[in-house]
Structure formats: C-alpha cells, structure tokens
Amino acid sequence: KAGVTQTPRYLIKTRGQQVTLSCSPISGHRSVSWYQQTPGQGLQFLFEYFSETQRNKGNFPGRFSGRQFSNSRSEMNVSTLELGDSALYLCASSPGGAYSYEQYFGPGTRLTVT
Amino acid sequence: EDKVVQSPLSLVVHEGDTVTLNCSYEVTNFRSLLWYKQEKKAPTFLFMLTSSGIEKKSGRLSSILDKKELFSILNITATQTGDSAIYLCAVVPSRDTGANSKLTFGKGITLSVRP
C-alpha cells in the first residue's frame, strides 16, 4: 500500500498570504489528522477529519482551517500567515474505526513564512 | 488539559550503550500510550501500550507502561548509529464515540548515538 503523501513538501510564503496544504491518506483510511511541529512546541494537534466532518479540534486560531473530500483526501488552509506559522505540518491517517489509535504519518510540508 | 512530559530532552551515547527514555503523562480518561521514532521525515510507529506491566518488544527496543504511576519507558539496548532520532510519545484519551481522538504528544527526546 502506498503511504501517506503530502504536497507540497516545501513552501515559502510571506506574511499576510494564505496557503493550502494537501494530504492523501493511505487507501482505505478514513481519518486524517493534522499536526504542527516546531522545535519549541513539539507536535501539536490541529484537527481531525473523518468522513468529511471535523471530529476533533486543537487549540489553534480560526486562521487554521481544513476540509476533507469524499475520497478522504484532506486540505489544510492557513490564512493571513504570521512568522510564527513557520513549521513542519504533518498529516496522519488511520482507518478511523473504533480501535484505530495507530496513526501513519506523511513526510510533512515544511512551511517558511518570511 | 492533557500533558505529556518526556525526559531527558536530549541524550548522547556511544554505540553499544543501553538507553532508557522516559515519558510521563497527565490525561483525563487515559486509553493508550504510543511511541514513535522520527528521523528526518515522518514519525514512524513503534509501540502502543494499553495495559500496565506488559512489556512490548521489537528487536532491541522494548517499552512498558505503568498506569498507576502514569509513565512509560522506552529501552534501547546495544544502540546503533541508526537509532539516532527523535523519540516521541503520545497519549490517546478515551473516547465516548466510535471516532478517533486527538493525540497529545510530548516534545520528544533527541537521541544521538556516536560510533
């Protein structure tokens, strides 16, 4: 099975712009979670989507949003970028069933905001 | 708020040494604890621990959970340079639905294994 894929892998944006990141989960997986990873804060949960619905949400401002499509692919959008948004954004997929705690991570998108 | 603390933050050892990585947690309605290894890219899954006192083992790596004292350890014996990575632990809270639930991660332990 192909793993989780994320595009683009690297991105440079300027403050005030917006960005959209994409994640394709493992075939058959219905849950996609997004995380932000920075050296200071570690991995922090952004949100989780299952069957096109947001099921869980972390403590991030409303500038961070996401969606999931019927094929389980997910996108994450960050509007009005700030310097502090520079981070590695990871998505993880899991089957999404009652006992599917194990998450499989994609390679991440490295976002740099200048 | 759920909290996961890993220690030490970083560690430098020589090949052949044995290391113990610690993860303590405070979480309401604990269900499981997960260990991941992160090299340059995506974290890769190592272990899931749900029951106290039962050791999980995979080659030179092993892990155990103590639900009474709220911690887990990850042991690596006969370390190799390929073990150099960031080791992350995460807790999974119970959920009242059939849905997946958000993981709370520690900040990770950076392990460097010198030849």
Distance CA A22, CA A7 (A): 5
- For B86, name the nearest residue in chain A, comparing CA atoms only: A42
**CA distances from residue B51 to A63, A85, A99, B29, B75 in whole angstroms, order as listed:** 39, 37, 15, 14, 17
Supply the DSSP symbol for A41.
Answer: T
CB contact (8 A) between residue A107 and residue B42 = yes
* Beta-carbon contacts below 8 Å between A and B: 66
Supply the pLDDT for residue A108.
Answer: 95
B58 Cβ under 8 Å from any chain A Cβ: no
Nearest beta carbon to residue B102 from set A4, A56, A100: A56
CB contact (8 A) between residue B100 and residue A56 = yes
B101 Cβ under 8 Å from any chain A Cβ: yes
A24 Cβ under 8 Å from any chain B Cβ: no
Mean pLDDT by 10 residues, chain A (114 residues): 90 97 94 91 90 88 96 96 96 75 89 97
Q: What angle do CA B53, B58, B60 make, to 5 degrees?
A: 100
Distance CA B91, CA A79 (A): 30
Query: Band of the pLDDT at B56, cuts 50, 70, 90?
Result: very high
List chain B residues with CB under 8 Å of A96.
Answer: 99-100
A31 Cβ under 8 Å from any chain B Cβ: yes
Cα atoms in the 13 Å half-sphere on the side-chain side of A54: 13
Supply the pLDDT for residue B99.
Answer: 42
Nearest beta carbon to residue A31 from set B31, B100, B106: B100
Supply the pLDDT for residue A99.
Answer: 56
Number of H helices, E strands in chain A: 0, 11
pLDDT digits (tens, 9 = 90+) for B83-115: 999 999 999 877 654 445 678 899 999 999 999
Span of A96-100, B18-22, B56-60 with lowest mean pLDDT: A96-100
Query: Band of the pLDDT at B34, cuts 50, 70, 90?
Result: very high
How many C-beta atoms surround the C-beta of residue A43 within 10 A? 26
Supply the DSSP symbol for B77.
Answer: -
The residues, ordered by sequence, that sit 6+ positions from A70 with a Cβ below 8 Å of its Cβ are: A52
Using a pLDDT cut of 90, give the percent of chain B over it: 69
